[in-house]
Amino acid sequence: MRVPSDSAADTSHLTQSPAAPMRRWLSFAAVPAYGAAVESACLSLGAIAVALFLFGIFVALGGHNPIEVYKALYLGGFGTRFSIEGALTQASPIILTALCTAIPARVGLLVIGAEGALVLGGLAAVLCATAVSTAPAAIGTLVALLGAVCVGALWIATVGALKHFRGVNETISSLLLNYIAIALFNHLISGPIRDFSQTLKATSWPVPPAFRIGSILGWSVHWGLVIGVALCIVLFIVLRYTTLGFSMDILGGNRRAAQVAGLPIGRLLILACAIGGGAAGLAGGIEVLAVHGAASESLIVGFGYTGILVAFLARQNPLAVIPVALLVGGISASGGLLQRRFEMPDATTQVLQGLIFLCVLASNAFAGRIASFTRPT
Amino acid sequence: MTDANGIGWLGVALAIVGGALRVSTPYLYVSLGEVLTEKSGRVNLGLEGVLLMGAMSGFAAGSLTGSPWLGVLAAGIAGGLLGLLHAAICNLPRVNDIAVGIALFLFGMGLAFYLGKPFIAPRAAMLPALPFGFWSDEPAVRAALEISPLFLIGIALAILLRWALANTRWGLLLRMAGESADAARALGYSVNAIRTLATIGGGFLGGIGGAFLSLYYPGNWNEALSSGQGLMAIALVIFARWNPLRCLYASLLFGGASALGPALQTVGVTAGYYLYSAAPYVLTLALLIYSSSTRHALAGAPSELSISR
């Protein structure tokens, strides 16, 4: 049964490689921060390429021409103005739900509760808008969005608080909270706040039309996208250039070091969760105010779970979340074209997203390898 | 669900028992699979994807071959393959097993919906039911006590797994990989190999849980088949404190809790239907808050597990 261990004898990796001077040509070390960024970008792009290749094989097995499918993916997601608008509309909530995983990840938490925070945010937007239904339009919109942010933030802050005070695993508690949130949501929209004039499916009271968020001038993309992009940029700056961001990175990198440095660990954990939850709640509020006009099942379409994929693909960097969300949004948006042109099931883009996710995680195994190849000796 | 109008509140109790017996089987299989995987020191959060793939392949194989038992086998194999995928990626260095689980969940779900599209319409041959209520004239009792053979196999598996983990060489190896990877390595065993086998086994059981959904109850294949039973596996295992026998009790409890809403509906209590459906999740969260501590890991948790550190 026993297999001799091979790790003891092999010391060749400790000796100096003769090719070291050559590698200096490839060095990113002069700008170490950019080196790491370039490396993550390379890994993510490589992972996407591998996933696309595997996807090509997958569709070829189904009897489709992979080149044609790639073309349709491009056309349906990015090729025309119409498809770009579709991709941007899809990306808008995903940008925000990705932050719900990306920001807590900075303090070392793996939170997957964006779906729950999103539906509750949508609910809060409806309730707040109804409460101030006579207010001027701008104020009503603001109150509804603020309500969505607060409810989302509180919901996920609970996850951080449970982690800090009771040691409850954040991944599991946020997963359970998703289901509780969705049950609460279904309960409210199918009874207490149901609009009974909508008979097709359970829908909440509509938000006052004046409070609806409109489209960006000349585009059929709503302003929610701009809010999401702005939030990403602000969070990037805060995390990168402030003491708060630095403290979060220390906590995420080494909890013990954060303790020794006297950082307020509990407050940082809960704050990071609250920021993430607020972003996801905002996503729900914007979806209600800009797209649906009321809270209904249409909110529960997995934006929260796609956000997790986007956060990992962006390597938890808020700035990288923007292009990645556009890419993933484009893939989702191209589903319709794939369906029409090749009669493929609508889950096709889901398969591609799953493949990308798996490849990105596998690519983590190569993190640091490129840097160690190019590090000057 | 059982027609309980005739016998009132007794009917509610019967409907909950019947529901518990019916609904608990997928819970039982995914939780046993998850125990097997987690005892080796790895978490597979992707059992929801495995469950759906199992349901789809079970239904497809069942309707193509006409034999539901071949369907169950196909479901297990499909689940095992997804388990292998999870293990293969987790065997790479610096890969987070929880994240891979989430990816596997999304991938398995997409794959099941993609491949299962042609099978939404036809019906497959269903698994037989064993009529344990034969002694009663009451149709409600008969309906409640119709038990799937898969449930009985699941009970046997729970007992077997409990015994094997405690008393066999394989069980000891598995627990060693889960409690101290260094000890396993020092004795010359490959931790990755043990965990790979455990994840494949866990996937196999999860796939069978899916086959129960598509081949017995509710007994068809569609995209809304699972209501998160696979995602609950991880909570169930914590609930059961990594003990296969307690998985059985926990599954029955969760099955009963899930049957609460529909059972109350049969006697006209429809208010809060959706709130009752959240009962299992609230139950788990409450237990988790109660039993967790910042000072020590969860009782009974394998110490190599990423969720208990």
Tell how far CA A60 is from the center of its chain.
30
Residues of B in contact with A357 (CB under 8 A): 102-103, 106-107
Is pLDDT larger for residue A365 or for residue A318?
A318
pLDDT single digits (tens) B206-239: 999 999 999 988 888 888 888 778 888 888 898 8
Domain extents in chain A? 96-314
**pTM for the whole thing?**
0.88
* pLDDT beyond 70 at A48: yes
Q: Find the angle CA(A329)-CA(A327)-CA(B81) to the nearest 5 degrees.
A: 85
Is A342 at the interface with chain B, CB within 8 A?
A: no
Q: What is the pLDDT of residue A190?
A: 87
**What span, in angstroms and rounded, lies between the C-alpha atoms of A280 and A302?**
12
Count of structural domains, chain B: 1
Q: What is the mean pLDDT of chain A?
A: 87
Q: Is A13 exposed, middle or buried (CB count within 10 Å of its CB: 0-12, 13-18, 19+)?
A: exposed
* pLDDT beyond 80 at A219: yes
**What span, in angstroms and rounded, lies between the C-alpha atoms of B226 and A12?**
51
pLDDT band at A208 (very low <50, low <70, confident <90, very high): very high
Pull the structure tokens for residue B146.
Answer: 């119709």
Determine whether the interchain pair A361/B94 forms a contact, defined as Cβ–Cβ distance below 8 Å. Answer: no
- Lowest-confidence range among A5-19, A222-236, B101-115? A5-19
This complex has an ipTM of 0.90
**Pick from A5, A171, A190: CB nearest B274:** A190
Any domain includes B119 = yes
pLDDT band at B137 (very low <50, low <70, confident <90, very high): confident
Contact A289, A144 (CB under 8 A): yes
Average confidence (pLDDT) over A34-56: 89
pLDDT single digits (tens) B174-187: 999 999 999 999 99
- Lowest-confidence range among A222-236, B64-78, B124-138, B280-294? B124-138
**What span, in angstroms and rounded, lies between the C-alpha atoms of B152 and B133?**
15
3-state secondary structure of B294: coil
Is pLDDT larger for residue A277 or for residue B217?
A277
pLDDT band at B136 (very low <50, low <70, confident <90, very high): confident
Instruction: Quote the minimal CA–CA distance from B273 to chain A in Å.
Output: 7
pLDDT single digits (tens) B6-53: 557 777 888 788 888 888 999 999 999 999 999 999 999 999 999 999
Best A119, A185, A351, A356 residue to mutate vs chain B (most B CBs within 10 Å): A351
Q: Which residues pair with A194 in a beta bridge?
A: A204
Is A61 at the interface with chain B, CB within 8 A?
A: no
pLDDT band at A8 (very low <50, low <70, confident <90, very high): very low
Q: What is the pLDDT of residue B260?
A: 79
pLDDT band at A14 (very low <50, low <70, confident <90, very high): very low
pLDDT band at A371 (very low <50, low <70, confident <90, very high): low
Determine whether the interchain pair A354/B103 forms a contact, defined as Cβ–Cβ distance below 8 Å. Answer: yes
Closest residue on chain B to A367 (Cα): B94
Determine whether the interchain pair B110/A176 forms a contact, defined as Cβ–Cβ distance below 8 Å. Answer: no
User: Quick one: which H or E segment has residue A177?
Assistant: helix A170-189
Q: What is the pLDDT of residue B53?
A: 96
3-state secondary structure of A261: coil
* pLDDT beyond 60 at B309: no
Average confidence (pLDDT) over A192-203: 85
Q: What is the pLDDT of residue B147?
A: 86
pLDDT single digits (tens) A122-160: 999 999 999 999 989 899 999 999 999 999 999 999 999
Highest-scoring range by mean pLDDT, A191-200, A274-283, A337-346: A274-283
Residues 160-179, chain A: which have Cβ within 8 Å of B?
A: 162, 164-169, 171-173, 175-177, 179
* pLDDT beyond 80 at A181: yes
3-state secondary structure of A215: strand
pLDDT band at A28 (very low <50, low <70, confident <90, very high): very low
- Give residue B121's domain range: 5-291
Determine whether the interchain pair A354/B107 forms a contact, defined as Cβ–Cβ distance below 8 Å. Answer: yes
Q: What is the pLDDT of residue B135?
A: 81
**CATH number (domain holding residue B42):** 1.10.3470
Average confidence (pLDDT) over B46-69: 93
- What separation in angstroms does the CA of A26 have from each of A20, A45, A284? 11, 18, 45
Is B294 at the interface with chain A, CB within 8 A?
A: yes
Q: Indicate left, alpha or beta for B300 from its phi (over 0: left) and psi (-120 to 50: alpha).
A: left
* pLDDT beyond 50 at A5: no
User: Quick one: which H or E segment has residue A238?
Assistant: helix A224-241
Q: Is A174 exposed, middle or buried (CB count within 10 Å of its CB: 0-12, 13-18, 19+)?
A: buried
Q: Which residues pair with A215 in a beta bridge?
A: A222
Determine whether the interchain pair B278/A179 forms a contact, defined as Cβ–Cβ distance below 8 Å. Answer: yes
Pull the structure tokens for residue A119.
Answer: 């539906």
Tell how far CA A137 is from the center of its chain.
30
**What span, in angstroms and rounded, lies between the C-alpha atoms of B100 and B93?**
13
Contact A225, A213 (CB under 8 A): no
Determine whether the interchain pair B235/A176 forms a contact, defined as Cβ–Cβ distance below 8 Å. Answer: yes
Any domain includes B304 = no
The b/e string for B173-196 (b: 16+ C-beta within 10 A; e otherwise) is bbbbbbbbbeebbeeebebbebbb
* pLDDT beyond 80 at A116: yes
Is pLDDT larger for residue B254 or for residue B11?
B254
**Pick from A351, A360, A365: CB nearest B93:** A365
Longest dimension (CA), chain B: 65
**What span, in angstroms and rounded, lies between the C-alpha atoms of B287 and B293?**
12
